[in-house]
Structures are given as structure tokens and as C-alpha cells.
A and B are shown apart, each in its own frame.
Chain A
Amino acid sequence: MSSGLLFAVVGCLLFVMGLGGIILLDHLLRRILAFNLLGSGIFLVLVGLAQRNGRPDPVPQAMVLTGIVVSVAATALALALARRHQAAGGNTGQTDRTSPEERHD
């Protein structure tokens, strides 16, 4: 088993974990983290799968390099949106729906 294939499998696992996180988690910041994990999983699959035979492949590497910078931009935008949402008094979904009074403890 080459390291490329191993990390492609890890990438699949990360993708599913990230997807599950986006669906199942409540807090917006956690969802942003999950989104990033999902993205990293895809990057690993892209590069790992292309390098199963052990030879480096510049094309997916260049694509992933682009992808990483774009995902930072997406993260920054998502964080700004989430903070705006919170500042506007929105529920970031982080609780305790049973006892909203305790949010200000």
C-alpha cells in the first residue's frame, strides 16, 4: 500500500466526517471547521489518488494549491457571516434549546 493510496482513504474518511459535521453539528463555528475538514479530505483524495504509484504528479498539486487558498477565503467569508449573524442577535445554534435564559451566565 503506497502512501498515496493510504492518504486517499484517509481523505475519504475526512470527507465523510466533515459532511457529517456540517449536517449534525449545531454551532456555526463548528460547521465552518467541519467544512474545512471536508475540503481537506477532498484535497487528500485528489493528490493521494493521483500518486498511488508513488510518483509525484504536478497537476493535482497545483489544483490543490489553488484550492487551499480559495478555502481560506471561503473560511474568512463564512466567519464574517457567522459573526455578523451573531452580532445581529441571531442564534448561532450553540445551545441548549431548552433553557435559553442561561445563555448569558
Chain B
Amino acid sequence: MNAALTFDTLLALLLLWSAWQALSTPKLDRAVIMFIVFGLLLTLVWSRLDAPDIALAEAALGAGLTGTLLLDALAAFGQTGQPAGNTGFVTTIKRFPTILVLLVLLAALLAALSKLPLQAVNLPAMVAQQMPDSGVSHPVTAVLLNFRGYDTLLEVAVLMLALLGILTVGLPVERPLLSRNLLVPILARYAVPLMTLAAIYLLWAGSHRPGGAFQAAAMLAAGVVLLNLAQVQPRWIPGQHWIRQLISAGFLLFLCIAALLLMLNGGLLHYPPDQAGLLILLIESGLTVSLAINLAAFYLLRSDRPEPLPNQEDEP
């Protein structure tokens, strides 16, 4: 057994272990932390799969944003008491049929996996063939913004819709900091400029090597979250218009370019090859800012109304 395979197997086992812990542990805090660990292990998996773009996004989002969102929610849910273990013998019997169906599904999936033909179409070769027309030299960026540009356009729309949905159902109430210390603001003051620099670097790198708008945006959003944790950046309240304007600006820029190209070239997001690089850079810069604010808004946009049910408060 060679070392690379041992490495992969051990990594796979750790990944499955952390996923199992996140689902099965009776304690909520442990479940959330194990899920954060799962995300970080996944970063290593993407690195092993030669997907540094995804690893970058997973590291930035998993460590920066998803983790803090979940920990924040944990603090809100934690106050209603710990969930019961729910692992008694009777519940196991009741759950047996479901588990059986799931196992059959798993067997079917694995069987299907083993029967798939190795390769029906050779996508990497097709991408490589089209690369000269794409205006960039990194294949993932070419796919994201040129060959499948409309997917990316719709994705930005999905992010905006999620934020609209959150605004519609009512924003979560901001919870007070439980503890504060002097070191975190100092860290934030030094780290956030570095993170901004790193984001600009990732954006610039996107055209010729792994990196790009999403990773840069995730990095910037993490910076804003850190500023909030350091109490430098207060929460955003729903009335602030510049937030909404900036969030929609990136999407509208993308949409305008798409519409313009539709009128000029007759194809949605069909860039002329000699201007493709410039247009993609323009779109990516706009996207970075608006995606970053959108992602940060998931954490920072908080209601200014008090908790509807104050009797549930039992903070020290």
C-alpha cells in the first residue's frame, strides 16, 4: 500500500468520522464544532483532488463565514436547553425501516458508481481547446465567467434572493458579546488590511491561476466579520441603503454587460474574444465587492428590534 493511498484513506476516514460526529452527538455545541472541523477537513480533500479553487473557497467560507454563522445560531439555540439524546431502544426500532431504506439507497448509489463509463465526453480537452478565445488563462475562471457565464449570473441572483428571503422572514436579533478582550481589536486592525490585500491578490490571480471573485469575496466577507467581532464594525441595520445598492450593483453590472452583448452579438454573454479578458476583469471586480457585502450581510445584517420573547433570556 503506497503512501498516497494511505494518506487519502486516512483523510477519508477522518472526514466520515467528523460527519458522523456532527450528526450523532447528543450535544449541540459539539455537533456544530464537528461540522466546522468537517469543513476544514474538506479543504484538505479538495487540495488532494487538485482543486485549489474549491479549496480556497472552502477555507475562506468554512473558516470565516459558515463557522461564525453556525456558532452565532448555536448561541441563540443554546438557551432553550440541551436536546435529548434520543438514542433509546424504542426509537432505534422505530427508525429501523428508514435506516434500511437508506442502506438500500447507498448500495444502489455505489452500484451505479461502479457501472458508470469512464468518460462519455472529454470535457477538459474541450475546455483546453476553447481556452484561447476565453480571454483568461485559468480554465476554472474561463468556465465560470465565459463558457458558463449565465450560471454565475444566476448564482449572484440566488445570493441576492437568499438575502431578500432573510429580510422577508425577519432578521435574527443581534446577540450581545459574551466576552471581550483587548487583543482581538489589535488583531483585527493588523489582519484586515492583510486580508484585503489577499483578496485583491486572489482577484488578480483569478485570470491565470486559482483564485477569482468568489474566493476574494469570501476573504473580504471574513474580514468584515472579524471587524464585527472586534467591535470595530457595528452591525448593519436593514435601513442602510448603501448596502442594498452595493449588493445589487454587481448583479446589475453583470446584467448590463450581458444585455449589451446580447444586442451587439446576438448571444447572452458571448464575449468577443479580443475584449473577453477586459470584460471578465470588469465583471469580476464588481462581483467581488457585491458578493463580499452580500456574504457579510448574512452575518452582519441584524434586526434593530428587541427579542420577541424576552422571557427565554437566561444569560449570565
Contacts and interface: CB of A to CB of B under 8 A. Distances in A.
Query: Quick check: do A and B touch in the complex, using CB within 8 A?
Result: yes
B28 A20 contact: no
B73 A3 contact: no
B162 A17 contact: no
Interface string A58-90: 111111111011101111110111111011110
Interface residues of B, number: 89
Contacts of B4: 3
8 contacts: A16-B105, A16-B106, A44-B45, A65-B140, A69-B159, A80-B170, A87-B308, A104-B81
A9 B111 CA distance: 10
Mostly helix, strand, loop or mixed at chain A's interface? helix
Given A29-B74, A33-B70, 16 more contacts: A27-B28, A28-B77, A29-B70, A30-B83, A37-B23, A47-B46, A48-B49, A57-B123, A58-B143, A60-B123, A61-B140, A75-B66, A75-B70, A80-B171, A81-B165, A103-B81
A57 B22 contact: no
A6 B19 contact: no
B232 interface: no
Interface in A1-37: 1, 3-4, 6-10, 12-21, 23-30, 33-34, 36-37
Please classify how large the interface on chain A is, using the bins under 10, 10 to 19, 20 to 34, 35 or more.
35 or more
Nearest to A55: B124
A13 B106 contact: yes
Contact of B22 (A16, A33, A49, A65): A33
A64 B54 contact: yes
B222 to A, nearest CB: 12
A79 B70 contact: yes
Contacts of B45: 7, 44
A68 B61 contact: yes
B23 A17 contact: yes
A66 B61 contact: no
A76 B119 CA distance: 36
